[in-house]
Amino acid sequence: MYIAVAGNIGSGKTTLTKMLSKHYGWKQYLEPVAENPYIDDYYKDIPRWALNMEVFYLKQRFKNLLEIQHCKETVIQDRTIFEGVYVFAANNRKMGNMDQRDFDTYMELFESMMEVVEMPELMIYLRSSVPHLVKNIQKRGRDYEQKMPIDYLEGINLLYDDFIMNKYKGRVLVVEVDNLDFEHNPKQFGDIIDKIDAKLFGFFS
């Protein structure tokens, strides 16, 4: 079984992925933030490095998906290939950071990959307001994220909602996280577990 956790930068998806992995005994696939060789350059000059950044993540997520599909354990993944394309790459195109030629080449590569990959059984979407995201980003203190423009986060948020509500065809659990602290509140984490159990193992509407 393949489970995914989706959400904007600072929404808590990595934290929840780790907690669910521990709770259920699922194998986790975390996004390789520190390993991306373009990330520092990207936040210093987004238009110059956008295509490089997106292709690196596309490559990594595709590699992970191939591993996931051959894994006999249940896997939970922090951010999917679908978000990378329909949210982050789409946002870079929308903001003019990727020209149409580069974006078309990127999409052709992605569409070729889609011929051999499968969708998650459940995507857990952590929905957050921009002020909540900013608070979490400041709290964790990654240098390259502190320079992130607010309009960048806002654009990502709008594309996430559009992706989840209008484009994604799989099963989704939306968790509103603005008023949650599931990392330190066992009851709130338990409520999320109950909703996941209902989606995966209960009756579906």
Q: Considering its fold, how many domains does the chain have in total?
A: 1
Confidence at 201, pLDDT banded by 50, 70, 90 = confident
Per-position b or e across 159-177, b if 16+ CB within 10 A of its CB: bbeebbeeebeeebbebeb
Which structural domain, as residue segments, surrounds residue 114? 2-201
Which positions are catalytic? 78
Q: What is the CATH number of the domain that holds 114?
A: 3.40.50.300
Q: What is the pTM of this model?
A: 0.84
Write the pLDDT tens digit of every residue in 106-157. 999 999 999 998 889 999 999 999 988 888 887 776 665 666 778 888 989 9
User: Tokens representing 183?
Assistant: 């990392």
Separation of alpha carbons 147 and 185, rounded Å: 30
Which residues touch 132 (CB under 8 Å, ≥6 apart)? 10, 11, 177, 178
